[in-house]
Amino acid sequence: MDNNLHFVLMNKKFKEKKSSNKNFSKKTTNKEIKAKKPKLNSRQLVSNFSKLNKSFLNRITCRTNLKRDISIILSAIFIIAFFLVLGQYIASIDAQVKNKELTASYNEKLFDQFEDENAKNIEIIQDALDTSQWKEYQSPWYGFKIKYSQNWKAPVVRPYSRFSSAIYRVSFLPNDKESKSSIVGFDVAIYDMSKTKELFQTDEFPKLKDPALQESIQCKNIEGHFLETGDYPAEEIYIPAADDCYKSALFFSVVSGQYIYNIVPKIKEGTILENDLMVEVSDKLPEFFASVSSFENIEIVRPKPKAIAPKITAPKPASYKIDQFGRLVCEKKDDKPSKSNQGKGKHLDMECCLDPDEYPNPHCYYDPGKYGKYLK
């Protein structure tokens, strides 16, 4: 038993010694590893960093890599710039579209309001005039009629002029020679649509203030100046003096059949209008609007041309007399038609005394009661 106890104690001491040797060995190994690692001073650190930096720069500045990297960077910049510009462009287009829609809507409201006011003003002017005694001018040849004041001059017809595209023009003028008014009457100008195909080709169509404005988008649309005026048969074209594109204008136009009819106030030659043309006409010649309202197209009626008499080529008779009507007749008092004894056969009558074997002379007049059976 003592021997066993001794063996146990000895075995326990051996294990404790072995364990202590292992811990010592681990500590020794860690210390040796730490001792083996070289300590870097500041110079060595700088040197190592320089080598690393140099290696990195060599990779970056390598010719092959440089081209690739520059290409990638430039492509990225271009793509970013493209999408930025595209985004701004789309945004600006959207803003312009919205502004145009708002402007068009606003202008349409203003236009409708102006059109209503204009129609009311003209109606007021018209109602203030007594037109019951007015005269009426008709042109069956060109198919229209219009009324004018009974106190005015008779209409003056002005045929085609090389200074105008109109084929026919008739002027209506007040009977006041001493008038100092800037508006001296009105014209009805007629255009043949086979030659003047569109309204803008007529003399009365508004002219641009500056030829350079012809390419302006703003000035290409003139539809906003075409007004529907109440029950008028004509369409009103009105350009206010303050318009940015066109010179001031005012006239009414009707298109019927093959003709364009423009009814336009006449401005005194050499006159510079101080006010808007609409104001001037309303103040100085209110009869203009009443006349326009009376305009009406009628059926075109033209006389048939007379047949042209054929030219007479036969010789005149050798003997004849002229009766009270200026006709060439037989001068024999008691002519008895009979065949010729000379055997001439059928021949032309040269005495206005027709015989059975003669042709009537076209210069002569033959009494049907006496020569009728030979005229068949």
More confident residue, 123 or 245: 245
Residue identified by tokens 């010592």 is 24
What local confidence, expressed as pLDDT, does residue 243 receive?
82
More confident residue, 227 or 85: 85
Percent of the chain having pLDDT more than 70?
A: 68
Q: Where are the alpha helices (DSSP H) in the chain?
A: 2-36, 42-60, 63-127, 217-220, 277-284, 287-294, 368-371
What local confidence, expressed as pLDDT, does residue 113 receive?
56
Reported confidence tier of residue 13, pLDDT bands at 50, 70, 90: low
Residue 91, amino acid: A
More confident residue, 50 or 149: 149
What local confidence, expressed as pLDDT, does residue 72 receive?
78
| 151 pLDDT above the threshold of 60 | yes
More confident residue, 287 or 122: 287
Separation of CA 50 from chain center: 78
DSSP 252: E
What local confidence, expressed as pLDDT, does residue 126 receive?
65
Instruction: Find which of 111-125, 256-270, 308-322, 340-354 is predicted with most confidence, using mean pLDDT.
Output: 256-270
Cβ atoms 263, 291 nearer than 8 A = yes
Among 8-22, 40-54, 352-366, the least confident range: 8-22
Cβ atoms 160, 153 nearer than 8 A = no
Among 2-6, 253-257, 264-268, the least confident range: 2-6
| pTM assigned to the model | 0.54
**Which residues are registered as beta bridge partners of 236?**
227, 252
Rounded CA separation 14/74 (Å): 77
Selection from 74, 297, 96 nearest residue 190 by Cα: 297
The structure tokens listed for 179 are 């008038």
C-alpha distances in Å from residue 336, one per residue of 201, 231, 364: 72, 77, 17
323-356 burial, b if ≥16 CB within 10 A, otherwise e? eeeeebbbeeeebebeeeeeeeeeeebbbbbbbe
Using one digit for the tens of pLDDT, what is the confidence trace for 94-138? 777 676 555 545 445 554 555 566 666 666 766 778 888 999 999
Angle at 285 between CA 282 and CA 289, to 5 degrees: 70
| 27 pLDDT above the threshold of 50 | no
Rounded CA separation 313/269 (Å): 56
| 6 pLDDT above the threshold of 60 | no
The average pLDDT across 319-332 equals: 91
